[in-house]
Chains A and B, each alone.
Chain A
Amino acid sequence: MTTETTKKFNIDTVEHAAKTPDTELPWAELGLKQNEFDEIVKVLGRRPTGAELAMYSVMWSEHCSYKSSKNHLRQFGEKVTEEMKKDMLVGIGENAGVTNLGDGWAVTFKIESHNSPSFVEPYQGAATGIGGIVRDIISMGARPVAVMDPLRFGAIDHPDTARVMHGAVAGIGGYGNCLGLPNIGGEMVFDSVYQGNPLVNALAVGVMRHEDIRLANASGKGNKVVLFGARTGGDGIGGASVLASESFDDTKPSKRPAVQVGDPFAEKVLIECCLELFKGSLVEGIQDLGAAGISCATSELASNGDGGMEVELTSVLLRDPTLTPGEILMSESQERMMAVVTPENIEAFEAVMDKWAVEYSWLGEVTDTGRLIITWEGEVIVDVDPRTVAHDGPVYDRPFARPEWQDSVQANSFTGSVEDAGRPSAPSELAAAVTELVASPNMCSKSWITNQYDRYVGGNTAMAFPDDAGVVRVDEETGLGVALATDANGRYTYLEPYQGAQLALAEAYRNVATSGAVPMAVSDCLNFGSPEDPDVMWQLAEAIRGLSDACMELGIPVTGGNVSLYNQTGTTPIHPSPVVAVLGKLDDVARRTPSGWREDGQAIYLLGTTAAELDGSEWSNLRGHLGGLPPKVNLAAERELGEILINASRDGMVDAAHDLSEGGLAAALVESSLRYGVGARIALEELMERDGVDLFTALFSESQARAIVSVPRSEEVRFKDMCTARGFAHLRIGVVDAAGEKLEINGVDELSLEALKEAHEATLPKYFG
């Protein structure tokens, strides 16, 4: 029976499926393995209908089910102390974790990947990456307040890099700017390992009052289920979930056109509309539609609530009337949300929709049957236990083993290698080396990118790129705010995954502390190659073990994140790239510490000690070398350094602070000088003597747990006393010199700020116009 408004299909009903057990189904084309299909048949006690198959195939994909990583990811939940849980209001498993900020405020943040779509169609891929992560934040009941974008592209001079770079940056800007969310930072790395697999990660942060926290669950029998926002179209069918679950390979039919298309205006309206719904307490549960669309939203809402839901699929508003039930269930059309509303709130809910001119349709209601039932004109096409779709997907213990090549890579140190021949030592050579470093693709100014992003909107941005962390005010009365930084080093992680992941965390932690904020929580985006390759699986397992151990040691919990696998071209994976985001809290953002010095005569101190650690460094990268062991991790020192920086900020003992990471002291000195165009005079003899290193090593080593600070004269004694009391290495290495307009380092030819600036800023425009 059909009405004239709906179309005729040969609907594969549950009843029909039960009668036709031998019907061939396209499970392999949908990405399922034989054992997984067999499991579905076992769970259902019959063959799945076409619609059920569609749901299981997307929900059991790597992207949605975490089937290869789940066994390892557990450590993030297990290696947690009571102390670490104290401020965690919502942990892993929801759309995004929520952390208590105090004064009744809560903050939620999460980082996600949109890698594969961004290679296929960079603009839309990157744009919808922002859109998706922002909807995760709204789903928690929060107002999104800022975004960040860690980016990794292929070689800067490869002809395809410009295509991806232009598209991704324009997409992030085009979408994010239109949402009114300041972009406060991110990363940019060029490396040929990312040529066919660029990494486009997106982070969003939102704030809310405690009472506004919302969870994705459908409770209360008889409550209504509503789908609102954009209409459902054919875009992204088998998109994010399938694309992100397979590596690009020419032997199979291409799934590449399946990239979603974003409409930032629709999303902006959706944000305001949702916030109004929350304000009026008009929804009981809410879930955004991302990967796996309606399949995901219905099964997650139902399984997290009272366990049952009935939905009539012909009620879904469509952009494309030819879509089949399976396609409607799998569509990844953007800017859609699903909510559960009590009958008495229906009228008020509709009034909010009408005010914002947002389309909506009532799909069905919550039941207590424990079944998710989806009908097509009343005929049952899905009848499943929603948990089996959303939570009980396959879990694999993928074999992993330390790669055979790992030892030889680690034995190949930069020092003494062919590439190390002619290491700079004369003053003119060192000056040329510093200039070459700060003009290099990974160390050059990112302003070509950040000038395409709105960092002002909202009026609460207290710090943004190029400072160490982005800082956003949360409470306009008290100045309470948050700081955020993301970091990863694929080269370090390639050399030693356990340590590499810890180094990413250490750097993000250090960046947040450098801004003056107290680190509180972690979100991670684990970008790796194929889990079916035991070498890659080992990298993943080691990185997760390293990261979870380090979180425990630093005392900050992982509150959410995302895993992106199959980032490889053929059999060549990317460098393992765990991108770690750390969120910190500032009681008053007025106390945030910028990365550049301004006041003449202030003393410049180097905190921490320097060893000969050049393996995996940016300098070795410039010389085309990758081998040896990454810098040593010392989390106790990171914690101590963090406390010094936080106290110094709070008590007004430092006016500028910049962490030392890629590019070492050389990069930090140049960046701190260029930040406000104020130079410095530096002498490193004492440091070289104390740490037993030469001038080149002092400048280019990437030893960890270090930072430079500028200290007002009046605070110098107090600052030194604090470092001494804490037993932390500190050394006065120079003085701010406002008049000189140059960076003077003893033993290095004079570097004029004008020439440094020119070199630093010319690189991206040279390649990208």
Chain B
Amino acid sequence: MTSIPLIGEAVAVAADASGARKLAGAKIGVVTFPGTLDDRDAARAVRLAGGTPVPLWHADSELGDVDAVIIPGGFSYGDYLRAGAISRFAPLMAEIVKAANSEAKLPVLGICNGFQILTESHLLPGSMIKNDHLKFICRDQVLRVENANTAWTLDYQEGQEITVPLKNQDGQYIADEKTLDALEAEGRVVFRYVGFNPNGSRRDIAGISNAAGNVVGLMPHPEHAVEAGFGPESLDGTGGLDTDGLGFFTSVLTKIVGGSK
């Protein structure tokens, strides 16, 4: 056989027995809204990274004892009114906003629709509008990691290029020039599209963080690039190793278990 990676090969982070135990003890909440689609995928990503996913329901008013939260992709409330505009009023979102802004700085990751919900909740600035080409787009996207110091990017190197799937209808990131300048100046542009801007986002921005770096949102889907055989390499052969997205999930586990790098 050749070097083509087989599906199902272990890709979980290497850790000694005690490390693995510690990781498994880290609980990452994954929120489901009506219309959420990638919740099971996000939970799988947490598991493959070595952590324990905890399902959270939008209507609950308590976060429980989770160490971090992922708001996954999808079309919550059908994107009706405006993507994320209804979900931001969910009881659980109030808890998430509170915890993210608290002293403990709960790590929060918003992917695609989750990113849209985070901007609607004002945890992150700016907004997403319809792609400039007006069509849904699904492709394997190269991103450059611009900031490797956030809770969700510790395991990457600054300047590292990764390939993860992107799939959205309303993915064009916009903000006023002042906000964009501030994001750049403060190092809060976490990911930038490389080679091709798939939706017309301002300054090729694919993802951003809050000032503290615990809240990160991005349009592409790292949770679809965590397992050999089911990621970009296998489906499209564009390079990479199928698992470029795993670093998001190992980063937050590193942060939770061991403090910052």
**B130 is an interface residue with CB less than 8 A from chain A:** no
Asked whether, in the complex, the Cβ of A170 is within 8 Å of the Cβ of B135, the reply is yes
Asked whether, in the complex, the Cβ of B136 is within 8 Å of the Cβ of A455, the reply is no
User: Which of B13-21, B173-181, B223-231 faces chain A?
Assistant: B223-231
Asked whether, in the complex, the Cβ of A458 is within 8 Å of the Cβ of B8, the reply is no
**A462 is an interface residue with CB less than 8 A from chain B:** yes
Expressed in whole angstroms, the Cα–Cα distance for A268 and B36 within the complex equals 9
User: For this complex, into which size category does the number of interface residues on chain A fall?
Assistant: 35 or more
Asked whether, in the complex, the Cβ of B235 is within 8 Å of the Cβ of A455, the reply is yes
Expressed in whole angstroms, the Cα–Cα distance for A43 and B235 within the complex equals 57
Which B residues touch A266, using CB under 8 A?
Answer: 78
Expressed in whole angstroms, the Cα–Cα distance for A266 and B80 within the complex equals 11
Interface string of B206-239 (1 = CB under 8 A from A): 0000000000000001011001011000110100
Which B residues touch A264, using CB under 8 A?
Answer: 75, 78
**B91 is an interface residue with CB less than 8 A from chain A:** no
Asked whether, in the complex, the Cβ of B75 is within 8 Å of the Cβ of A458, the reply is no
Which B residues touch A455, using CB under 8 A?
Answer: 138, 235
Interface centre among B3, B7, B234 (most CB of A within 10 A): B7
Asked whether, in the complex, the Cβ of B165 is within 8 Å of the Cβ of A456, the reply is yes
Asked whether, in the complex, the Cβ of A265 is within 8 Å of the Cβ of B2, the reply is no
Asked whether, in the complex, the Cβ of A675 is within 8 Å of the Cβ of B237, the reply is yes
Asked whether, in the complex, the Cβ of A590 is within 8 Å of the Cβ of B78, the reply is no
Question: Is the contact region of chain A dominated by helix, strand, or loop, or is it mixed?
Answer: loop
Rounded to whole Å, the gap between the CB of B247 and the closest CB of chain A is: 17
Q: Which residues from 614 to 643 on chain A have a C-beta closer than 8 Å to any C-beta of chain B?
A: none
Which A residues touch B78, using CB under 8 A?
Answer: 178, 263-266, 268
Which A residues touch B129, using CB under 8 A?
Answer: none
Interface string of A696-738 (1 = CB under 8 A from B): 0000000000000000100000000000000000000000000
Asked whether, in the complex, the Cβ of A457 is within 8 Å of the Cβ of B37, the reply is yes
**A452 is an interface residue with CB less than 8 A from chain B:** yes
**B44 is an interface residue with CB less than 8 A from chain A:** yes
**A599 is an interface residue with CB less than 8 A from chain B:** yes
**A767 is an interface residue with CB less than 8 A from chain B:** no
Asked whether, in the complex, the Cβ of B41 is within 8 Å of the Cβ of A459, the reply is yes
**B38 is an interface residue with CB less than 8 A from chain A:** yes
Which A residues touch B80, using CB under 8 A?
Answer: 265
**B97 is an interface residue with CB less than 8 A from chain A:** no
**A269 is an interface residue with CB less than 8 A from chain B:** yes
Residue of B whose beta carbon sits closest to that of A712: B2
**B104 is an interface residue with CB less than 8 A from chain A:** no
Q: Which of B34, B41, B167, B235 contacts A177 (CB 8 A)?
A: B167
Asked whether, in the complex, the Cβ of B37 is within 8 Å of the Cβ of A180, the reply is yes
Residue of B whose beta carbon sits closest to that of A481: B7
Asked whether, in the complex, the Cβ of B235 is within 8 Å of the Cβ of A461, the reply is yes
Asked whether, in the complex, the Cβ of A457 is within 8 Å of the Cβ of B1, the reply is no
Asked whether, in the complex, the Cβ of A459 is within 8 Å of the Cβ of B230, the reply is yes
Residue of B whose beta carbon sits closest to that of A450: B138
Interface string of A158-189 (1 = CB under 8 A from B): 00000000000010011001111000000000
Which A residues touch B8, using CB under 8 A?
Answer: 479, 588, 590
Expressed in whole angstroms, the Cα–Cα distance for A38 and B173 within the complex equals 64
Given contacts A178-B35, A459-B41, contact A479 B230 (CB under 8 A): no
Rounded to whole Å, the gap between the CB of B206 and the closest CB of chain A is: 16
Residue of A whose beta carbon sits closest to that of B36: A180
Residue of A whose beta carbon sits closest to that of B140: A456
Which A residues touch B2, using CB under 8 A?
Answer: 598-599, 655, 712
Given contacts A459-B227, A712-B2, contact A452 B75 (CB under 8 A): no
**A677 is an interface residue with CB less than 8 A from chain B:** yes
Residue of B whose beta carbon sits closest to that of A264: B78
Q: Which of A357, A655, A677 contacts B4 (CB 8 A)?
A: A655
Interface string of A540-561 (1 = CB under 8 A from B): 0000000000000000000000
**A451 is an interface residue with CB less than 8 A from chain B:** yes
**A396 is an interface residue with CB less than 8 A from chain B:** no
Q: Which residues from 145 to 202 on chain B have a C-beta closer than 8 Å to any C-beta of chain A?
A: 165, 167, 169
Asked whether, in the complex, the Cβ of B138 is within 8 Å of the Cβ of A453, the reply is yes
Rounded to whole Å, the gap between the CB of A539 and the closest CB of chain B is: 37
Q: Which of A178, A589, A590 contacts B75 (CB 8 A)?
A: A178
Q: Which of A272, A454, A677 contacts B138 (CB 8 A)?
A: A454
Residue of A whose beta carbon sits closest to that of B223: A459
Interface centre among A178, A355, A655 (most CB of B within 10 A): A178
Expressed in whole angstroms, the Cα–Cα distance for A644 and B178 within the complex equals 64
What are 27 A-B pairs at a CB distance below 8 A? Answer: A174-B136, A177-B75, A177-B167, A178-B35, A178-B79, A180-B74, A268-B78, A269-B35, A452-B135, A452-B136, A454-B138, A455-B138, A455-B235, A456-B224, A457-B38, A457-B41, A457-B167, A458-B41, A459-B44, A461-B230, A462-B229, A463-B234, A464-B235, A476-B44, A589-B7, A590-B8, A598-B2
Chain B contacts to A: CB under 8 angstroms: 1-4, 6-8, 34-35, 37-38, 40-41, 44, 59, 74-75, 77-80, 135-139, 165, 167, 169, 221, 223-224, 227, 229-230, 234-235, 237
Sort A-B residue pairs by CB-CB distance and give the 7 closest, nearest first.
A265-B78, A180-B37, A590-B7, A676-B237, A459-B41, A456-B224, A590-B6
Query: A457-B41, A458-B41 given. 9 additional CB < 8 A pairs?
Result: A178-B78, A268-B78, A452-B135, A454-B138, A454-B167, A460-B230, A589-B229, A677-B237, A712-B1
